[in-house]
Amino acid sequence: MERILVIGANGQIGSELVEALATQYGEGNIIAADISPRSLYGAKVYEVIDVLDPVRLAAVVQHYKITQVYQLAALLSATGEQAPLKAWTLNMDGLLNILELARLRGEAGKPLKIFWPSSIAAFGPNTPAQNTPQFTVMDPTTIYGISKLAGERLCEYYFQKYGVDVRSIRYPGIISYKSPPGGGTTDYAIAIFHAALRGESYSCFLKAETTLPMIYMPDAIRATIALMATPAAQLSIRSSYNVAGLSFNPRELAQAIAQKLPEFSIHYAPDSRQEIAASWPQSLDDTVARKDWNWKAEIDLQQLVKDMLKNVQVDKTEVATLNAAA
Ligand SMILES: NC(=O)c1ccc[n+]([C@@H]2O[C@H](COP(=O)([O-])OP(=O)(O)OC[C@H]3O[C@@H](n4cnc5c(N)ncnc54)[C@H](O)[C@@H]3O)[C@@H](O)[C@H]2O)c1
């Protein structure tokens, strides 16, 4: 029986992952954890954990006889630029604490399977931007991207040296409506829906032609759970898999929204996030993920726009909050 700990469970991805895992493995087998004192999304079992506290982490894993850990706690790209040392400490030490715990438990005959997400931010300005290959130049320019690239190397190191069963995806920008995004460069693609549904013109912090790889949350969750369920012998990548969803730029997204809401308008006021976005790929080659664990994205731009317009709750979050860099 799987007993699964999700750290960062109150975040954009964690909140939806906990729900999906609960459906698959049973509510009582999913332990949601976050640094904040309460579960924001009503998890049945909730623990307060600071991922930077290895003693507490080990105690919770021992207490619940955890078999899998999803380590999602991190500072994201835009937020990380405002507090680089904090981002480095959280992103690196958080991952190291989990990998060390997995190593020690593995040596004690109690293996832990780990999921840790990397990002398209691990690439940089000298990476081929179109159809970015699995193996290529990686020269990230943000502290977040540097922490993701270093994290990928650590994952592969712990697998090669200690046999830790760690798995990872280089998530594209994730679009969702259930919980607010955590301060990434792709957050415009969520804020824009809130502005559109409020009947407001949207002030976009990226330029109109800034194409980026994106993925709709249901595809991202499906990819994550599928990767974790794949037999270890099938996996050829222990750093992090390229996974493609769809690619579009702000102008294309705005046009797709205007097809449903003809009054909608957008204007452009690029800020520091434009420079970050310009250093990232525009589309990803995910051939290896397709071959190793049958990955294939299902949701296209039309479906995404239709679903977001149906489900975004405009009364919950201000556009200015979503649009802010932190
Ligand atoms: N959302 C995206 O578009 C995206 C894209 C690529 C990669 N990722 C990666 O996926 C992961 C989750 O991203 P997200 O968008 O859900 O982030 P988020 O910011 O929405 O959520 C992160 C959660 O971690 C919690 N947290 C912060 N510090 C903690 C600590 N010390 N201990 C325990 N919990 C702590 C926060 O309270 C928050 O609930 C991150 O590693 C991120 O880098 C996200």
pLDDT in tens, 86-117: 999 999 999 999 999 999 999 999 999 999 99
Tell me what the mean pLDDT of segment 51-64 comes to: 98
How far does the centroid of ligand 1 lie from the alpha carbon of residue 36, in Å? 13
Give the DSSP letter of residue 201.
Answer: P
Q: Active site residue: 46, 144, 177, 216, which one? A: 144
Does residue 119 carry a pLDDT above 90? yes
Q: Is the CB of 91 under 6 A from ligand 1?
A: no
Span 290-296, mean pLDDT?
98
User: What order do you get walking across the sheet with 118-119 strand by strand?
Assistant: 118-119, 169-171, 241-242
Torsion sign over Cα 289, 294, 298, 300: positive
Which residues are bridge partners to 71 per DSSP? 7
Predicted pLDDT of residue 183: 87
Which residue from 260, 244, 280 is spatially nearest to 193, judged by alpha carbons? 260
324 pLDDT band, cuts 50/70/90, is confident
Q: 141 CA distance to ligand 1 centroid (A)?
A: 20
Q: How many CB atoms lie within 10 A of CB 145?
A: 24
Q: Which atom of ligand 1 is nearest to the CA of 183?
A: 19
Residue 8 CB less than 6 A away from ligand 1: yes
Residue 188 scores a pLDDT above 80 = yes
Q: For residue 12, report the distance from its CA to the centre of ligand 1, in Å.
A: 7
Give the residue from 33, 91, 96, 20 showing the smallest Cα distance to 60. Answer: 33
pLDDT at 11 over 70: yes
Structure tokens at 161: 């040296």
Q: Are 220 and 275 in contact (CB under 8 A)?
A: no
Mean pLDDT, the chain, as a whole number? 96
- The Cα–Cα gap between 156 and 152 comes to 6
pLDDT grade for 69, boundaries at 50, 70 and 90: very high
* Cα gap 89→109, rounded to integer Å: 29
Using CA atoms, how far apart are residues 94 and 73, in angstroms rounded to an integer? 7
Q: Tell me the backbone φ, ψ of residue 251, rounded to 5 degrees.
A: -65, -45
Model confidence at 326: pLDDT above 60 = no
Among candidate residues 241, 247, 252, 250, the one with its CA nearest the CA of residue 283: 247
Residue 325 confidence class, pLDDT cut points 50, 70, 90: low
Beta bridge partners of 173: 214
- Does ligand 1 lie within 6 Å of residue 73's CB atom? yes
- Give the pLDDT confidence score for residue 316 in this predicted structure: 62
168 — pLDDT class (breaks 50, 70, 90): very high
Contact, 57 vs 98, CB < 8 A? yes
- pLDDT tens by residue, 33-56: 999 999 998 899 999 999 999 999
- Encoded tokens for 122: 């691990």
Phi, psi for residue 245 in degrees, rounded to 5:
-110, -90
Other residues' Cβ atoms within 10 Å of the Cβ of residue 221: 19
Rounded Cα distance between 265 and 261, Å, is: 9
Q: What is the pLDDT of residue 318?
A: 75
| Ligand 1 site, residue 256, Cβ cutoff 6 A | no
Percentages helix, strand, coil for the chain (3-state, rounded to 5) are 45, 15, 40
Q: Whose CA is nearest to atom 32 of ligand 1?
A: 50
Task: Say what the pLDDT of residue 314 is.
Answer: 84
The rounded percent of the chain whose pLDDT value lies above 70 is: 99
- For a mutational test of ligand 1's pocket, the pick from 18, 171, 215, i.e. the residue with the most ligand atoms closer than 8 A to its C-beta, is 171
Encoding tokens for residue 115?
A: 């999921």
Residue 96 has a pLDDT of 98
Amino acid at 60: V
Q: Best of 5, 15, 35 to mutate for ligand 1, by most ligand atoms within 8 A of CB?
A: 35
pLDDT at 24 over 60: yes
Average pLDDT of the segment spanning 236-245: 98
244/223 Cα distance (integer angstroms): 10
Q: Is 171 a catalytic residue?
A: no
Confidence at 138, pLDDT banded by 50, 70, 90: very high
3-state SS assignment for residue 87: helix
Among candidates 233, 239, 226, 246, which has minimal Cα distance to 294? 226
**What is the bridge-based pairing of β-strands 212-216 and 246-248?**
antiparallel
Instruction: Sort 129 into a burial class: Cβ within 10 Å, 0-12 / 13-18 / 19+.
Output: middle
pLDDT of residue 248: 98
Atom nearest to 10 CA in ligand 1: 39
pLDDT of residue 70: 98
> Is the CB–ligand 1 distance for residue 49 below 6 Å?
yes
Domains of the chain by start residue, with CATH: 4-173+215-242 (3.40.50.720), 182-214+246-283+299-323 (3.90.25)
Residue to mutate, 5, 38, 72, ligand 1, most ligand atoms under 8 Å from C-beta: 72
pLDDT exceeds 70 at position 140: yes
